[in-house]
Structure 1
Amino acid sequence: MKISDFAAHSGLTPDTIRYYERIGLLPRTVRDAGGRRSYGMDDLAWASFLRKLQAMDMPMRDRLEYSRLRAMGRATTADRRAMLEAHRAALANRRDELMELIGTLDAKIAHYRDLEANMEGSSDDGSTRSNGGSGRAAPRRDASIGAARRG
């Protein structure tokens, strides 16, 4: 397939494909009699994997090293597996950090929902409840926000 088809199927732009070839991330492909690049299904599978590595936030230097090892063939299988295992461990650690952060957000959201549910305000009939006559609930300071600013 030509570079435009390869770009459409891989999700990479033609400029990115040329750049990846230039830096060694994609192997240089065969060319037809007119000098145009011609890509195969193996190239497409490799480009798809490269996009996944990028989506996993694998640094470019590591993707380049992985690509270099891949080009060396089966003798580097253990090295490539080790790289992927290390990156997987880093992703798992990041997932755990994100889950903790999501838990923090969930607790804060629940706190605000509780505050909203307990706020004094207008009743369904339009009258106001006792709140000092202002018609609005007194603002409350969230202690955790003050603590975060102090610490």
Structure 2
Amino acid sequence: MLIAEVSDKYDLSQDTLRYYERIGLIPRVNRNKSGLRDYTEEDCKWVEFIKCMRGAGLPVETLIEYVKLFQLGDATVAARKELLIGQRDQLLTRMEEMKRVLERLDDKIARYEQTIGAKEKALMAHDS
């Protein structure tokens, strides 16, 4: 699959895909006879994984480390697992923080709705 197709499929710019490859965020993509990147199904799985992890807020540096460990083979399975567990724990903490912020926003919005509702009632009573 050419880079334009991968770009469309995963809603990532071609520049982003090239950048991800250049910094080691995704393994090096093979080239076809014309010298164009030719993404395999395995390459696309990496793109999808990285997009998912970045969307969840995992740092680029951590993901680069994960890819390097993966490329070293089965001897790094435990290290990769620990890296992902650490990231999961951080994500859970951020989700709890976001839940508290969401509750606070909901409370603030509810107060504004009460204030606006009370003012509208007062105006309607005044106009009657």
The two structures have a TM-score, normalised by structure 2, of 0.84
Structure 2: 5+ residue stretches without partners: none
| Cα distance in 2 for residues equivalent to 1:73 and 1:100 | 40
SS in 1 for 2:122: coil
Match of 2:127 in 1: 126
Match of 1:41 in 2: 41
Q: Which has the higher helix share?
A: 2
User: Larger Rg: 1 or 2?
Assistant: 1
1:4-23 matched pairs, under 5 angstroms: 4-23=4-23
Match of 1:74 in 2: 74
Match of 1:135 in 2: none
What amino acid does structure 2 have at the position aligned with 1:122? L
Deviates more, 1:117-126 or 1:79-88: 117-126
> Which structure has the higher relative contact order (CA within 8 Å, separation 6+)?
2
Match of 1:32 in 2: 32
Kept in 2, the 8 Å contact 1:66–1:83? The answer is yes
Moved over 6 A (4+): none
Q: How far is the alpha carbon of 1:116 from its aligned partner?
A: 3.8
| Cα distance in 1 for residues equivalent to 2:18 and 2:106 | 45
Match of 2:89 in 1: 89
2:65 equivalent to 1:65 = yes
Q: Percent of aligned pairs with the same residue?
A: 34
What amino acid does structure 2 have at the position aligned with 1:15? D
Per-residue Cα deviation, 1:56-83 (whole angstroms, up to 9, x for no partner): 1111111111111111122212111111
| Cα distance in 1 for residues equivalent to 2:37 and 2:123 | 70
Structure 1: 5+ residue stretches without partners: 128-151
What amino acid does structure 2 have at the position aligned with 1:60? V
| Cα distance in 2 for residues equivalent to 1:51 and 1:82 | 20
The two structures have a TM-score, normalised by structure 1, of 0.73
Per-residue Cα deviation, 1:45-104 (whole angstroms, up to 9, x for no partner): 110000011111111111111111111122212111111111111111111111112222
Q: CA RMSD in A?
A: 2.1
Match of 1:133 in 2: none
Kept in 2, the 8 Å contact 1:29–1:39? The answer is yes
